[in-house]
Amino acid sequence: MIKVLYHGSCSKSKAILEHLDENNVAFEIIDFIEQPLSPMEIRTLLKKLNAGVQELIRKNDKLYKEKFAAKQHSDEEWINVLSENPSLIQRPILIKGPIAMIGRPVENVRFFIDK
């Protein structure tokens, strides 16, 4: 089963759920805004994504531009910022066992669900 880190007001998140539904893929929704990820969960997610913390940050987000763009943070500090401000995390994110991907564009999800 695929876990989808989801934000209810995000059109990309909604599109991913529709795509999974249309393709009869079983999934579990995790609303990471309502249930923010802990720093440990973010570290685990980064390993599954095979990505650095910078790739997880939504740098076009208003909150990022207003509060964080001009600041220098270590990776560990960024992990804590993301845990405390989950809206700054890229979305949607699909997790399948030991691997994960940022679900954009939706066309790339087809290769992920077939793995």
In tens, the pLDDT along 41-91 reads: 999 999 999 999 999 999 999 999 999 999 899 999 999 999 999 999 999
- The C-alpha atoms of residue 34 and residue 89 are separated, in whole angstroms, by 13
Question: How many domains is the chain partitioned into structurally?
Answer: 1
Structure pTM?
Answer: 0.92
Which pair of structure tokens corresponds to residue 73? Answer: 């943070």
Identify any residues that bridge with 3 across adjacent strands, giving them in sequence order. 28, 95
Active site residue 45: no
**Active-site residue identified among 3, 10, 30, 68:** 10
| CA proximity to 35, closest of 2, 6, 68, 76 | 6
* Domain that includes residue 7, residue range: 2-113
Q: Which two tokens stand for residue 68?
A: 């964080």
Q: What would the mean pLDDT of 95-103 be, rounded to a whole number? A: 94
Q: How confident is the model at residue 105 (pLDDT cuts 50, 70, 90)?
A: confident
Give dist(CA 37, CA 85) in Å, integer.
Answer: 10
Helix axes 39-49, 75-84, angle to 10 degrees: 110
Q: How confident is the model at residue 115 (pLDDT cuts 50, 70, 90)?
A: low
**CB-based burial of residue 61 (10 Å sphere; 0-12 exposed, 13-18 middle, 19+ buried)?**
middle
- The CATH number linked to 33 is 3.40.30.10
